[in-house]
């Protein structure tokens, strides 16, 4: 585990974008595992800026997202499909067919999870996975108690995760109760993993991630067993470390 400590959110975003751009330029056919949420927004803005200014190309890049809510349509502004389109994918030259998110409206969710997992395998796995972290230590929507070897699966969201995500919705009642997520086993199979964290609300989770026991009660601690895992986090997020 490598830790890159940055002064603030801006510097965290810049550092992560620099690493991602380096990997994309070295491997133009790279498969990127991507996250949604507040944390990676700044990174995506920097990737777009670099694409416009320096013409880094995504024509052969593939993207695989971590998760999607269950039961909301792709056009819903709160869906992760919509987030990815508006925050990144519509602004770079990646063909839509090369971008993947779980279908949260699939009739047979278990079949959708198996398909998603097979799809990741068939394109040769994830080269670089970008992650955020939940205040309870979740990664993707793998909540505390999730087995470390689980693959893509449907999940019931914890109430504190729904509360934390309610800021994106009109009210807590609109926050979906379930989601589809890559499993910890899926994430761990990525060749390289970068986890981002910013702000004091992540300090407890980051302290447990870095110094706590490796245990299913804090899903992110599984990452300490990965041989190419980098944390990029700001001072506030690392203030208890």
**With respect to ligand F6R, which residue has the nearer C-beta, 41 or 60?**
41
Q: How far is CA 77 from the centre of its chain?
A: 18
**Please, what is the end-to-end C-alpha distance for the chain in angstroms?**
14
50, 65, 67, 192: which is the annotated catalytic residue? 67
**With respect to ligand F6R, which residue has the nearer C-beta, 60 or 216?**
216
Q: Is 213 exposed, middle or buried (0-12, 13-18, 19+ CB in 10 A)?
A: exposed
Which element (helix H / strand E) includes 60? none
Q: What are the two backbone dihedrals, phi and then psi, of residue 221, each rounded to the nearest 5 degrees?
A: -65, -20
Site residues for ligand F6R, window 52-91 (CB under 6 A)? 66-67
Binding range to ligand F6R, per CB under 6 A, among 6-14, 108-116, 120-128, 137-145 = 137-145
173 an active-site residue? no
**With respect to ligand F6R, which residue has the nearer C-beta, 37 or 185?**
37
* Gyration radius from the chain CA atoms: 17
136, 142, 192, 234: which is the annotated catalytic residue? 136
The residue from 6, 39, 63, 190 that contacts ligand F6R (CB under 6 A) is 39
The residue from 132, 137, 176, 219 that contacts ligand F6R (CB under 6 A) is 132
Site residues for ligand F6R, window 138-157 (CB under 6 A)? 138-141
Q: Give 181's strand partners.
A: 67, 153
CA 200 – CA 206 distance, rounded (Å): 10
Binding status of residue 36 toward ligand F6R by CB under 6 A: yes
From residue 14, give the alpha-carbon distance in Å to each of 7, 48, 87, 178, 234.
11, 12, 16, 33, 12
Shortest distance (Å) from residue 141 CB to ligand F6R = 6
143 an active-site residue? yes
Taken as a whole, the chain contains a residue count of: 241
**With respect to ligand F6R, which residue has the nearer C-beta, 36 or 152?**
36
The residue from 37, 42, 176, 185 that contacts ligand F6R (CB under 6 A) is 37
Shortest distance (Å) from residue 15 CB to ligand F6R = 16
Binding status of residue 183 toward ligand F6R by CB under 6 A: no
Q: Is 123 exposed, middle or buried (0-12, 13-18, 19+ CB in 10 A)?
A: middle
Tell me which residues touch ligand F6R (CB under 6 A). Answer: 35-39, 66-67, 132-134, 138-141
Q: Which residues are catalytic?
A: 67, 136, 138, 143
């Amino acid at each position: 585990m490598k830790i890159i400590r940055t002064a603030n959110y801006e510097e965290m975003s810049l550092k992560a974008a620099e690493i991602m751009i380096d990997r994309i330029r070295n491997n133009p056919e790279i498969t990127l595992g991507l996250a949604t949420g507040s944390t990676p927004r700044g990174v995506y803005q920097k990737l777009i800026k670099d694409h416009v200014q320096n013409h880094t190309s995504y024509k052969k890049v593939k993207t695989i997202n971590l998760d999607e809510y269950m039961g909301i349509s792709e056009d819903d502004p709160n869906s992760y499909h919509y987030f990815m389109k508006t925050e990144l994918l519509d602004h770079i030259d990646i063909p839509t067919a090369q971008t993947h998110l779980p279908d949260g409206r699939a009739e047979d969710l278990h079949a959708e999870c198996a398909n998603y997992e097979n799809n990741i395998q068939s394109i040769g796995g994830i080269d670089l996975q970008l992650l955020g972290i939940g205040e309870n230590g979740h990664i993707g929507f793998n909540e505390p108690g999730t087995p470390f070897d689980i693959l893509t699966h449907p999940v019931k969201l914890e109430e504190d995760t729904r509360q934390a995500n309610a800021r994106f919705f009109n009210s807590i009642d609109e926050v979906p109760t379930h989601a589809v997520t890559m499993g910890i086993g899926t994430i761990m199979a990525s060749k390289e993993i970068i986890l981002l964290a910013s702000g004091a609300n992540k300090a407890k989770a980051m302290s447990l991630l870095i110094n706590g026991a490796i245990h299913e009660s804090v899903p992110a601690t599984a990452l300490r067993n990965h041989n190419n895992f980098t944390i990029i986090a700001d001072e506030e997020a690392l203030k208890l470390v």
